[in-house]
Each structure stands twice: as C-alpha cells, then as structure tokens.
Amino acid sequence: MTQSTFPNHLVQSAVAAALAEDLGLAGDITGDAVLSGDETMSGAIRARENGVIAGLPLAIEAFRQLDPKIELTIAMTDGSRVKAGDTVLEIMGNSRRILASERVALNYLCHLSGIASLTAKFVEQVEGTNASICCTRKTLPGLRAFQKYAVRAGGGQNHRYGLDQAILIKDNHIASAGGVAQVLERVKHHASHMVRVEIEVDTLEQLLEVMNYKVDAVLLDNMKPAILREAVELVDGRAITEASGGVNLQSVKEIAKSGVDLISVGALTHSAPVFDLGLDFL
Amino acid sequence: MTQSTFPNHLVQSAVAAALAEDLGLAGDITGDAVLSGDETMSGAIRARENGVIAGLPLAIEAFRQLDPKIELTIAMTDGSRVKAGDTVLEIMGNSRRILASERVALNYLCHLSGIASLTAKFVEQVEGTNASICCTRKTLPGLRAFQKYAVRAGGGQNHRYGLDQAILIKDNHIASAGGVAQVLERVKHHASHMVRVEIEVDTLEQLLEVMNYKVDAVLLDNMKPAILREAVELVDGRAITEASGGVNLQSVKEIAKSGVDLISVGALTHSAPVFDLGLDFL
Amino acid sequence: MTQSTFPNHLVQSAVAAALAEDLGLAGDITGDAVLSGDETMSGAIRARENGVIAGLPLAIEAFRQLDPKIELTIAMTDGSRVKAGDTVLEIMGNSRRILASERVALNYLCHLSGIASLTAKFVEQVEGTNASICCTRKTLPGLRAFQKYAVRAGGGQNHRYGLDQAILIKDNHIASAGGVAQVLERVKHHASHMVRVEIEVDTLEQLLEVMNYKVDAVLLDNMKPAILREAVELVDGRAITEASGGVNLQSVKEIAKSGVDLISVGALTHSAPVFDLGLDFL
Amino acid sequence: MTQSTFPNHLVQSAVAAALAEDLGLAGDITGDAVLSGDETMSGAIRARENGVIAGLPLAIEAFRQLDPKIELTIAMTDGSRVKAGDTVLEIMGNSRRILASERVALNYLCHLSGIASLTAKFVEQVEGTNASICCTRKTLPGLRAFQKYAVRAGGGQNHRYGLDQAILIKDNHIASAGGVAQVLERVKHHASHMVRVEIEVDTLEQLLEVMNYKVDAVLLDNMKPAILREAVELVDGRAITEASGGVNLQSVKEIAKSGVDLISVGALTHSAPVFDLGLDFL
Amino acid sequence: MTQSTFPNHLVQSAVAAALAEDLGLAGDITGDAVLSGDETMSGAIRARENGVIAGLPLAIEAFRQLDPKIELTIAMTDGSRVKAGDTVLEIMGNSRRILASERVALNYLCHLSGIASLTAKFVEQVEGTNASICCTRKTLPGLRAFQKYAVRAGGGQNHRYGLDQAILIKDNHIASAGGVAQVLERVKHHASHMVRVEIEVDTLEQLLEVMNYKVDAVLLDNMKPAILREAVELVDGRAITEASGGVNLQSVKEIAKSGVDLISVGALTHSAPVFDLGLDFL
Amino acid sequence: MTQSTFPNHLVQSAVAAALAEDLGLAGDITGDAVLSGDETMSGAIRARENGVIAGLPLAIEAFRQLDPKIELTIAMTDGSRVKAGDTVLEIMGNSRRILASERVALNYLCHLSGIASLTAKFVEQVEGTNASICCTRKTLPGLRAFQKYAVRAGGGQNHRYGLDQAILIKDNHIASAGGVAQVLERVKHHASHMVRVEIEVDTLEQLLEVMNYKVDAVLLDNMKPAILREAVELVDGRAITEASGGVNLQSVKEIAKSGVDLISVGALTHSAPVFDLGLDFL
C-alpha cells in the first residue's frame, strides 16, 4: 500500500471554496436570524456504521476557518477502522460558527470515508492473493487529489494521478498510430525516461506482441479469470500485470486469484456511497 | 418540477479547472508521445444502460476547450431518457485533443447522469401521489450547482442551494435559542422578507406548537408514514410539508402516500452511482 | 431589522484584493523612500460628522494584513451611532505599514458608514409607521455583500441578495410570458418551494388580478401614497406589501404612512455619499 | 485632459465576477421559472437625465457574456454628453439572458456615468481658468481602474493610480522623517528617477522651505483662495500646484481663480450619485 | 527526444497574467497619451543571432489578447533553427495595441528561445554518443511548464516535471531512512506502480549496493568521466544511467563519452541567457 | 540607490503558486514513500560563491508554508555580501516537509541572488562616476516585482515597473505620431501630471529638437561614449540622461565616464546566471 500522506497544500483553498459555495454572499441566514451570536455548544461527530475514516484534515479545516478558536479533540486518524457509535471528532465552540461549517465538514468526511470504506471492502476480498486494489482517473472533477488519498487511506493503491504522470497506451492510441509495433517504437523515442509506460491489451495475441517490447506494465482489459491466469504466466514477471473491467465485490476474488499484481476499480471514486457520520450535540 | 436551465455562467471555469486537474503541467504525455498530432478520429458517446442524461454542456465544453474546431453532433439534451446503446453525442476531430479531453467530459457526464437517473427512479415511485422529490445540501464540495441541476434534469426539485438562500431551523437552533417560541419570535424580527422559513419537527407535539406561528414549511424528520399522515392533516395546507430521513427506493412510495408535499433525499447527490456511458471510436 | 452579522468569510480575500489594487507591484514607493522602516506611530480614526459606523472588520483586516503585529483598540462596533469627534479605532504600529494600509481601510470604512448613515436617516423618517426600509440589487459591482450588510448596520432590511435568492416577477416577465395568469401558473409549477415569490404591479387593476394567486409579496411600483393606501387595504395582509420608486428623504414618510410593510430605496447602495472619517496621528 | 482609453484588459474578468455575484449558484431563478427560454425581446438603454456617459464597454460585455449572439446597436460612446431621453444602447436578443444581465450592465453604466457627469460639472465650473480637475485615491475598493477612467471620460485628469505610481509626501511622512529637509534629502537618494515627487504643504512657510528643493508638484492642502494665490505666485512655475480640501461645486470656481494647475476632488469617486439610465423594452 | 507539444491549456491564463503585470490598472499610459488610437503599423520579429526558437504560441497569444483582429504571419515554428536576420513572425495591426503587447511577447519568446538555444548547444556536443541532455527541477517559479517545453524544443529531454511525477531518492532520504536497504525496501511497499524510481549515488560502492535492488534509474552525482564509465559498466543496462554535477559546454562531451544515458543540466532552465530577438517596424 | 523594501503583499500567493507548481496533486511522492513522517533534520543554506543575497523572504515563506513549526535562524539579510561558505539560513524541522519545500526556496533564492550579484558587479564598475545602474521591463513573466527588488538589493535602481508607471516615448511612437514636435505636444495635453516623461533619441540632432520641450528624462540609445559625452553636455542638467544599448561589464565603465545619470541594463533581469547556494544537511 502507498502511504496515506494528506495533500496538505491543497486543503486551505479547497475548504475556503467549499465554504463559499455554501455561504454565498449572505452567509448562514438561519444562524444569523435565530441565534444571538454568543451561544456555545459542544458535540461529537460519530460513525453510524462500520468502516474506514478519511478526510479528517478537511473537516477540521472547515471548522477552524469559520472559528479559529474552536476546541477540537481528534479521536481517530484517517485510515482508522471505526464501528457504528465510535466518536471521530469532538467539537466545542461558538454555535453559530459550528452550525455554519458543519455541513461542509461532513460533506467531505462522509464522501471520503465512503471511498476509504469501499476500498477496504475490496482489499479484504483479495487478502491472501498477490493483488493490490487501485483506483482510476474516473474521479469527480475537483476532488481527485482527495479521492486518491482516500483510496490509500482504505488500503488501496493509486494508479496515475493524471494524464501527466505516466503513459498509458489504450486501444485508440494503437489504432491511431497504426499498431503495437509503431506505438511502442514511438514511445521509445519520445517518452521521458522518468515516466512509466503501460499498455492495454484485450487478447493474449496482443499481449504476445507487446511482450516483444520493454514496457513497465500491461493492462489486461476485460479478460475472464482463466485468461488472466494465462496472461500472468505469459508475462512471467517481465511487467506489472493489471486487470480491469467487470470488477465488483463479487468478482474481485476470482480475478485476484489469477495472480495479477493489480486490480483497478473505477467505482472506488465514481460510485462509492457516502459513509454515514453525524454530528450529535450534547 | 423546477425547470432544468443549465448554470451556463459556471461552465467555462469549472471545465478549465477540471482539465487542469487532469493535465497538470506536462499535459497528456501519452498522446504527445505516441501520436504525431495530425491524426483525426470520430466517435460517439453512447449510453450503456437505461437512464436520464445530464451534464451535456460540460462534456461539450471540455471537448471544445481543447479543440475549438471539433465537430459535435448533439443527439440528446439534458433530461432525455436514453436506453442502452443510444447515442448521446457524436464527435469528430483531432485525435490527440479528443483523447486528452475525453475523461473530463465523461467524468462530468457519467456522474451527473447518475444523479439524474437515480432521481428519476425516485420520481417514478411517487407518481400519482402529491409528493415531489427534492435534494439536500449533502452535495460533493465544488459540484453543488451542477448536482442540483442534475436533480432537476431527473425530474426532481431543489431544496435551498445553500445556507444563504432560505432559513431552515433545526433542532440545534431550537435548543440553542431556548425553544420553538423563542426561535420563531426571533425569525419574525430578524429574517429578510424575501426568504422562506422552514422548521424541523420530530414529533406531532412539536408540530402543534409550531403551527401557532406562520412558517412557510415544516420539515417532518424521521416520522413513520402513519405519523406523517397525521402531521399532514394537522398542518392542513397552512404550510408546505416535507418528509426526510430513512428515504430509499423501497420506502419512498409509502412515505409519499402520507400526503406530504416534498420528500428530500440526500442520496441523490451524495451516493448516486455513476451512469454508464462510453466513448466508442468508429 | 435583520441582524447585522458580518460576512467574515469574504473579508480576507476582499481586503487582499483592495490592497493589491493600491500597492501594485512596486508597493508604497513614498513610504519606502522617505522612511527608514523602523519608525512607529500611533493615531486614531475619528468621525468628522454624525452618523452610523459600518465596515470596521474590513478596516481592521487591512491594517492587520500589512502589519500582523499592529495594536488596535476598537472603540465602536458596526451599527454604533457616532458624533463628530468620536474615536472609532485607535492604532499603534510601524509607520510604513500603517501609511500603506490607511487608504484601503478608510475607503471601506467611509463608504460603508456612508451607506449605514443614509439608511439610518431613512429609518428615522419612517419611525412610528409599519414600514421597514430595504435595499435593492442596485449595488456597486464587487461590493454587494458588504453594502447589504451596511444597510443592516444602519437599521435597514435586505431585499434579495441576488437573482438566485428569490423570485421577483417584473413587468417584462409578465409581458414575455403573456400575462399575470400565465406567469403565476408557471411559477407554481417551476419554482422551488424554498424561495419566496414577489410580483411587481403598477396599478390597482393588476393588483386585483394578482391577488387571485398565492404570492408572498407584491411590489407596488411608482404608486402615489393614496394609491398605496388602497393597495394595502386590498391586499389585506395576504401578502407583504413593498413600495418602490420615487423614494427619497422628503417623500418616504408619506409613503410609509400608507401602511406598506417595506419601502425599497436604490439610493442606499448606489448613491450614498461617503461618511467623513479621518486618521489623525498623535 | 488625459485621453479616455478604456482599460480593456480588465473588462472580461471584472464583468464575470459581477455576474457571478448576482447569479450565485442557482442563477436567475425568476427567468428560469417564468420564461420558456425561447422568448426574445428588444429594448433600449436610455438616459433619464442630462449628463455624460461612461462604462459602455462594461455594459456591453455583461450582455455578451450571457448571450454571445445578442445584437447591440451602440448609439453613444464614453464621454458623450446625453440628454434625458437619449438612447445609449439598443439591444435585441433572448429574453432570459437579457433579463439576467441587465442589472449588472446598468450597475456599471449608472455608477460610472454618475462619476463622469459629476466630473463634467466640476470641469464646467473651472472653464476659463488654468485649473484642471483631478481625482484621488479615495475610490471604492475593486473599482479604481474604472472609476479613474470615468473621471477622464468626464473631462477630468487622473492623480496617481496607486501608491506605486508616484511619490506623494504627506504631513505624517514629514513628521516621521524629522522635517522637510530630511524627507526631501531621503527622496533624492532613494526614489526612482522615473517617478514624480509631490509634497503636501499646509502653510506658506512650509511652501517656502519646500521650494528650496526640486519637487515636481506641491499639494496645497486646505488653503483659502487668497492664500492659494500667494502660493501660486511663490512657486512661480517651478512646480505644479495642486489645491485640495473643501472643494465642492460652490467653492471650486474661486479656488480655480487662484491660478493653481490642479484641483483634486475626492467626491468624484467616493460620493458621485448614480446617473439615471433605464432599460426600456419595446 | 521527447516531442515538443506545447502546453496549450496553460497559455491563456499565463499570458493574461503577464499582460496584467505590465499594464497594471492604468494600462499603457504612453500609447494612450501620444497616439490617437487609430494608427496602424506593421513589423517583424527577427532573430539577431543564431539559435533555436521556442515560445511562439505565447507571443502570438499576447498580441491576440490585446488585439483579436491583429494579422500575423508565422514564419517559424518552435524548434526551428534560425540565423541572425531571419524573420520569425510578421505583425500588422493597431499601433497602440501592438506597442502595449510587444514587451510581453518578446519577454516570453527571448527567454524560451534562450533555453532552447542553450539546450541545442549541449545536444550538439553529445552527438554521436549514447547520451541525451535533460533538464532538472531548477526552474524559475511560475515558468516550469514553458521552460521544460523549451528544453524539448531545443532537442533535450525532460526530467520529472515535479515532486509528484516520479520518485528520486537523494542522499538525505537515504540518511533519514537509515540506509539504501531501508529506503528501497520502503519504496517497494509504498510507491505507486505507475511511477518510476531513481536513486542518487555518489560512489561506486553505493552503486553496487543499489544494484541489488530493482530501480528504474540511477543518478550518478558528481562523478568524474572515468568513474562514470565504470558505473555504466557496473549497471550493465539494468537501469537508466544519469550523470549530473559539474556539467557545462566544456565538460559535457567527456561525460557523454562515458556511456551514460542521460546528462542533466540545471543551467538550461536557471541560467540560460536570453536569445536576442527584436521587433522591427517597417 | 532606491531602498530595498520587499514587496511583502505578494509573497504569500507567489510562494503558494510555486509550491503548487512543484507538488501538483500527488505531492512529494518520494518523501511520502521513503520517510515515515516523523524524522527531523537540520541543515544550512550556504553560499557556494561570492556575491549578494536577495530573496530570503520568499525562501523563508516556502519553508513555513509547508511547516509552520519550522525553526529558522536567519544569518543574512537581502543585500548582504556573502563569500563562498557563508551560512545564509539555518533550518531545523520535519524532514518530509523540508525536503518538499527545499527546491522552491532555493529556486527563488538562487535566481534573485543571481540578479543582485550581477547588479552589484555593474555597480562596482561605475563607482566614482555619476552613473547609477538600472533595470528595464525585460523581465521574466510573473517575476517582475521580485526581480526589480533584487536589482535594488544589488545596489541598482529601478526603471519604471510597467507600462502604467511612467511615459517612455520610443522611436515607434514618434514615427506613428508624426515627429517629435507632435508627440511632445500630445503628451503635454494628455499625460497625467503625476507621471514622468522620458523620450528616446538616437542622435544628437534628435536630442537638440527634444530639448526644446520640457521632458523629465532622455534615453540616449546606442550611442558611443564620445557621443554620450556630447549629449550630456547638450542636456546640461535640464533632464535626466540615461544610456542604453550595448552595455556589458566590459563597456559599462566607459559609458559611465560620459557623465550620464543612468545606465539601463536588460541583462540584469533577463540573463543573470543563477547564484550558487545549496542546502547542506548536518
């Protein structure tokens, strides 16, 4: 597993934008109308189901941006496994400010913990095999850095962060360039030495052709477990093997048993349901 | 249903940011390495399941920002019901530019169509009742305007856009202010005349007390259908009635039959699975 | 009166932009040339006429952004009535930094206190009547949130913050939609339940037609006080009544006596003369 | 008079920000609810009083950003003198988009024309004298470039744009530096050769001392016309003479007759009342 | 050589910021004062020495942002070798607008052509050897994407774009982690499969230890050519070999003859002198 | 020499942008992979050659933005002359955070110290003459404020910061306007009184014509030292004299002996080689 270091340099501006999105020009007109501004409250964010936490730095930042004096007791860290009822964060401070930042804090925390928790379920399924679970570029616009981090918090690996981090040659590239030979010849001459090269193959025939060249990884797309097994044998350690397509919590174990190194799952970042957390006031 | 006008004033900067997130400084190093830059391709975005489309203006903008000369044939509009296999958008242009914008276009389109399609399923369940389906502020940071729009495209209504658009008094406000009487008294004096006021109640007793005051809407939180029915009778048209809590595709019909005006569903924006669309090249 | 809570989430970036506007790339070339950088000074911002203060958080932020160590003694709060000679804020710190932030601080404070003071004059005129004074969307670009806040500091109310906060149907909408019946029918089906609906009428005949529908407020545009009185009677508490057009410090009292709930005054935000404050050094 | 070239490089982002301020996330919920989206309308922006126009490029940009296909007939240019009833701009296009941009267009146009018109009144008063009218740094935050431009459109001159453009030594600088000799000695050594140097004096004694040094301009602050006349004689063409303080439409003529080169008026940018323009639909 | 595709998605905002830096609020006060605004001119950007061009898209964008109607004849492309006197770009348009954008256009073009030209000199020195020339992260803040592109235009390769694109383990990492074994063990478990791993070694002993592990590249820091030769033999094709330290136009040939794959040169981006180009008016 | 006050108001956002450029979305994937996150280290930034330091506030801000708790001992100030081996800044803190900010800190410090050091060499050459060394607008986009500051730190003067700060009439302006008489006539009527006016001349004949008008400075372009001497005599103190063109460390002394007030050198900001500084860990 890649380590789950938080992208701290992105937190401040992301949270400021999220608060601006919720507060608009007029701010929290409910709290402004019904509270005097002097009330204080204390509460706790608690898990309402079992799973894995991710996104605490964003939640904490949301509370602190609206109330620099807020008192927080941080009971869990990102990557912590929690059970329903567990306290994640205790809060004490000005009521108006807490109620104005609560939703942004929870929106981040529930979404990212949802990703971490779903990732953890996939990881659990492949335990005992050679396979790691990884994410894709199928992320929600504006949230990629945090979503990829949440995958790591859940025990998964990150595939490339963007088009700029690694070369991944897909069927359309091969078709446009005129074939595997042409495309890999071009890569040899035009790619930076500091980026990895992965190529997608759909059949064992394509894989055979590809293995005549030096590539870092092969993406075995939409292959049945039995075919995947043959592909892994054919590669024989000369490249990283990645399976993709048709992966879900039911199918992942069989895919993993094929011996592939990696299984990429788009759903981790595009379809993870929210993890249920709530802020209970005392 | 509120009309589904797209927030056009937000499209350009949102798409630019999403492309920057994917392209980084180095850009699409795969296309740059393996294509000459002169290749052209044509393809079609097609639905791979049945549902409702939303987000086309964002997908179109993504293609156009990287290739102002791209030729697009728009086969559907947001809100269109599609079946697996239906073509949504046809594309013809420079291969490198299309392949560099494809993922951003699809990330928007699949996510927002996922929201529209889930909304449409809820709306279908409540057909024939008085109830409308609406969303909440449980949105993903940075995507609220587009997510709320997608709810409308799916036939739903929007609840308030943010803390700045309407007053919604929750249990914590009531507790902090010292009771229903105090909180509604304060609202009368401190709220703008141009914003609606809704108040959350958990029991029929609270509802009775609330109805002594003039409010625009009551949020009936976590009430069983039988209690909801009593609540609707008690309100008797003097305020809009909104049910929330424990709403899913199984429970929503019974809730709707209670006679409430609105049913709010957080899952529409926080947990909608992606709608499956793919770009097939010809 | 709506409460005058400051839009704190907007202060930091607004002040940074205002300082950048004044300092450019080269900064304060006067202070840099004629001071050594070690000098300190102390001074006081004092009112030079009678009125109401607004904008202190912006002035304070301006001084603090250029000198985090500045010592400030805050003698008034926004909404305070001051007399010529009253001290509003005492300042002690580095001369170069104070002289570089002084103008931005005063530009905000004098403009917003000007709005608060003008609002207070209108409010004074309508004392003893049913009417509140409110502002419009005729604000200066980029300053709306602060200008609307200043109106509240002066004892006024806010009309809608923007096109996104409430529905206000004007004569052009009615003409375009084909009449009052059509436009209000459309609103019933297409408006969110969480936004108020106001409609402009120019004559009692229009008002009669409008009152066949459920609206939250009616905007009685350019009616003489006598007609306004008839309009108020006709509405009879079924909607909020707002008068607009031809309102000034001379006419407002007669308008208020008509019994309307609200009187909207564009001049509060588009034509308020500056309130005279100066920074005197000791 | 400095020429009135518009700061075109600032228009696009300023207007985009102003529209975002008015539209928020939800956009124009009135037009979206009550119009179908297909309606078109035509209208004209007309002056409702006599004065000078400024800000047309901003108004035009506002209409175009929301509707790139809008048809505009531009009847006046910035700096044009108009009479009540004169048409300034004719508009034909989509109703929803026009109604959503109208307020931003008018807010810019009315405010800047207000500044140009007020400037023109001052300029008229000093006709036949040696004096030009100029503005100050007492501008409204975020609007300086446009406000200073409007002063030029009205026939005035610009004083320095910001702290970065020229050196203006005030009483506090002199006090901090230890006297006129010290401050002007420092300027000689520490100022760039490409910036002008102006120094404020309050008495003829100070002026006498200052004239021992080479300065580009002297700011004669709060002097009576008779004293100003003596000051002008004393300077005798060796520096530009600028009068400030207590300048209004009543006093400006007498001040101008003293022979000063410039009269600076803060009110041009901080207190100009709006110029009345309206969009009449046909 | 990696291909020299321009980072088009960064051009518009970079050029807008550069123009804003030069124009400030007041704009080009020279052109505004001395030209009427109607003058046109034509001219040509010509090389004043021999070298390689880079940055044309930025220069073109600068001219177009201030004058969308400008007529440009593009005589060269990035990567073109030019001789003193060669025309690079012909320009015809409004004088005021050309003179206001000229400096920004040339600042980009001269700087980036300087980098491309210096790179080309290094590349020329190593012709006939196995070595490629590449850049480092020693770039000027804000200009990295364009500088790295200019290196490619000059025939060089790009090393990693930033800390996010590849793993490069330096002596401090090894020291902090407790040795080569520990650091490479950690990488095996914590690094993403899609990023390359390079490790710096200073001696042949370190290199021997490193080659017990699988790494993509070794950075041979500050080794004499003779030692480099031994290092290349020792690696024997199992990793990419990169030499760094003490590289200049005199030393680079000997270093290249050692057989290393890459030679990284910080000076390409941090110390390239400007390439002399001028805009001659006709 | 103009004083070297740092443009503090630009530091925070510039450094944040520079860090974002280096860290991307994924951050420092090396430090994240090979360090545990608990390691600390201490080190010192030391000069590796003789020269003048500039840019310390940017380097310090870079370290602090990633680690607010870092302990820094600042051994030099901007403008300090250092020798190879001198310590500039001592650092103690978290290893991961220091290694992630080191490159940005050094990129600023080495570049700006390079400018200051080169400026100091030119200044040294003209010691004992009347001439000051100054920079131009030939700066690198995005870095102008810092580059101009570094010139001051090295003992140089700043020419105008941008097109907005002063009027500089070049040959193209004269040609477009129809001659020296026309252009200076226009300036007299259209320029603000607060900006200096400089005019470029290429021959003594032009200079003679120019001196019939009042200008603040004359730019003597590409004149030989002997001609410059004649020009200085001809001007005779009535304007500042500035020499430009063909200035380098070899030629500058002779140029200075001509008696000109200023010598402008584009190379200071467009071609200064980096000053060698390194971070040595203890």
Residues of A with CB under 8 A from a CB of E: 1-3, 132, 134, 157-161, 164-166, 189-196, 198, 216-217, 240, 242, 261-262
Greatest extent of chain B over all pairs of C-alpha atoms, in Å: 74
Residue of B nearest to F25 (CA): B21
E-state strands within chain D: 40-47, 51-52, 71-74, 81-82, 87-94, 132-134, 167-169, 197-201, 217-221, 240-244, 262-264, 277-281
Model's pTM, two decimal places?
0.96
The reply to whether D103 belongs to the active site is yes
Q: pLDDT digits over B224-257, tens only?
A: 999 999 999 999 999 999 999 999 999 999 999 9
The rounded distance, in Å, linking the Cα atoms of C147 and C139 is 7
Question: Catalytic positions of A, please?
Answer: 103, 138, 170, 200, 221
Residues of E with CB under 8 A from a CB of C: 21, 24-25
Across D131-160, average pLDDT: 97
CB within 8 Å: A24 and C144: no
Residue A157: strand pairing partners:
A134
How many other CB atoms sit within 10 Å of the CB of residue C52? 27
The rounded distance, in Å, linking the Cα atoms of D219 and D166 is 13
CB within 8 Å: E25 and D158: no
Distances (CA, A) of A131 to A128, A134, A256, A262, D100: 8, 10, 6, 5, 55
- Is the pLDDT confidence value at C68 over 80? yes
- Tell me the chain C residues in contact with residue F7 when contact means C-beta distances shorter than 8 Å: 23, 25-27
Structure token pair of residue B212: 């002594």
Q: How high is the pLDDT of residue D110?
A: 98
Question: Catalytic positions of B, please?
Answer: 103, 138, 170, 200, 221
CB within 8 Å: A26 and C158: yes
Residue E212: strand pairing partners:
none
The alpha carbon of residue C89 is apart from the nearest alpha carbon of chain B, in Å, by: 28
Of D189, D194, D198, the CB nearest to F160: D194
Q: How high is the pLDDT of residue D4?
A: 59
CB within 8 Å: F270 and E111: yes
Of C134, C165, C193, the CB nearest to B240: C193
Q: How high is the pLDDT of residue D259?
A: 98
Q: pLDDT digits over B111-122, tens only?
A: 999 999 999 999
Question: Catalytic positions of C, please?
Answer: 103, 138, 170, 200, 221
**Residue closest to F153 by CA, chosen among F125, F116, F190:** F116
Residues of C with CB under 8 A from a CB of E: 21, 24-25
- CB of A15 within 8 A of CB of A66? no
Q: How high is the pLDDT of residue A213?
A: 93
- CB of A3 within 8 A of CB of B126? no
Residue tagged active-site, from F22, F48, F81, F103: F103
Residue tagged active-site, from E121, E137, E138, E253: E138
- Tell me the chain B residues in contact with residue C189 when contact means C-beta distances shorter than 8 Å: 1
Those chains having 3 or more beta-carbon pairs within 8 angstroms of chain B are A, C, D, E, F
Of C30, C139, C144, the CB nearest to D173: C30
- Is the pLDDT confidence value at E2 over 60? no
Residue of F nearest to E33 (CA): F190
- The residue written with tokens 């196995």 in the block is E130
Percent of chain C residues past pLDDT 90, beyond the cut: 93
Across E150-176, average pLDDT: 95
Q: How high is the pLDDT of residue E3?
A: 52
The reply to whether D224 belongs to the active site is no
Those chains having 3 or more beta-carbon pairs within 8 angstroms of chain A are B, C, D, E, F
Residue of F nearest to C38 (CA): F5
Q: What is the pLDDT along chain A (282 residues), one digit of tens a residue?
A: 445 589 999 999 999 999 999 999 999 999 999 999 999 999 999 999 999 999 999 999 999 999 999 999 999 999 999 999 999 999 999 999 999 999 999 999 999 999 999 999 999 999 999 999 999 999 999 999 999 999 999 999 999 999 999 999 999 899 888 899 999 999 988 889 899 999 999 999 999 999 999 999 999 999 999 999 999 999 999 999 999 999 999 999 999 999 999 999 999 999 999 999 999 988
The rounded distance, in Å, linking the Cα atoms of F166 and D159 is 13
CB within 8 Å: C25 and E25: no
Mean pLDDT taken over chain E:
95
Q: How confident is the model at residue E91 (pLDDT cuts 50, 70, 90)?
A: very high
- Tell me the chain D residues in contact with residue E23 when contact means C-beta distances shorter than 8 Å: 7, 9
- Is the pLDDT confidence value at B142 over 50? yes
- Is the pLDDT confidence value at B215 over 90? yes
Of A33, A99, A190, the CB nearest to B172: A99
Eight-state DSSP code of residue D216: S
ipTM of predicted complex: 0.96
The reply to whether F200 belongs to the active site is yes
**Helix, strand, or coil (residue D31):** helix
Residues of E with CB under 8 A from a CB of B: 2-3, 5, 7-10, 144-145, 148, 158, 161-162, 164-165
Q: How high is the pLDDT of residue D3?
A: 52
Q: How high is the pLDDT of residue A2?
A: 44
Eight-state DSSP code of residue C156: -
CB within 8 Å: B8 and D66: yes
Query: What is the 3 state secondary structure string of E65-112?
Result: HHCCCCEEEECCCCCCEECCCCEEEEEEEEHHHHHHHHHHHHHHHHHH
Q: How high is the pLDDT of residue F98?
A: 96
CB within 8 Å: C166 and B195: yes
CB within 8 Å: C8 and A32: no
- Tell me the chain D residues in contact with residue B10 when contact means C-beta distances shorter than 8 Å: 20, 25
Q: pLDDT digits over C42-57, tens only?
A: 999 999 999 999 999 9
Residue tagged active-site, from D137, D138, D196, D257: D138
Q: How high is the pLDDT of residue C176?
A: 85
- Helices E95-125, E56-66: crossing angle, 10 deg rounding: 170
Structure token pair of residue B196: 């609606």
Mean pLDDT taken over chain F:
95
Q: How high is the pLDDT of residue D177?
A: 86
CB within 8 Å: C196 and B196: yes
Q: How high is the pLDDT of residue C4?
A: 59
Residue tagged active-site, from D48, D81, D137, D170: D170
The set of residues, in sequence order, having a beta carbon less than 8 Å from that of C168 and lying 6+ positions away, is: C160, C198, C199, C200, C219, D30
**Helix, strand, or coil (residue D13):** helix
- Is the pLDDT confidence value at C227 over 80? yes
CB within 8 Å: A34 and B186: yes
Q: Which of C3, C161, C195 to mutate to test the interface with A (most CBs of A within 10 A)?
A: C3
- Is the pLDDT confidence value at C3 over 70? no
The alpha carbon of residue C68 is apart from the nearest alpha carbon of chain F, in Å, by: 12
The alpha carbon of residue A72 is apart from the nearest alpha carbon of chain E, in Å, by: 31
Q: How high is the pLDDT of residue A3?
A: 52
**Helix, strand, or coil (residue A195):** strand
Q: pLDDT digits over F65-83, tens only?
A: 999 999 999 999 999 999 9
E-state strands within chain A: 40-47, 51-52, 71-74, 81-82, 87-94, 132-134, 167-169, 197-201, 217-221, 240-244, 262-264, 277-281
CB within 8 Å: D169 and C30: yes
Q: pLDDT digits over F82-96, tens only?
A: 999 999 999 999 999
Q: How confident is the model at residue C151 (pLDDT cuts 50, 70, 90)?
A: very high
Q: How confident is the model at residue C218 (pLDDT cuts 50, 70, 90)?
A: very high
Residue-by-residue DSSP string for C197-257 = EEEEESSHHHHHHHTTS--SEEEEET--HHHHHHHHHHHTTSSEEEEESS--TTTHHHHHH
The rounded distance, in Å, linking the Cα atoms of E154 and D162 is 42
Distances (CA, A) of A162 to A35, A136, D106: 46, 9, 44
- Is the pLDDT confidence value at D2 over 60? no
Q: How high is the pLDDT of residue A5?
A: 81
CB within 8 Å: E25 and C21: yes
- Is the pLDDT confidence value at E202 over 60? yes
Percent of chain F residues past pLDDT 70, beyond the cut: 99
Residue-by-residue DSSP string for B100-161 = HHHHHHHHHHHHHHHHHHHHHHHHHHTTTSS-EEE--S---TT-HHHHHHHHHHTT-B---S
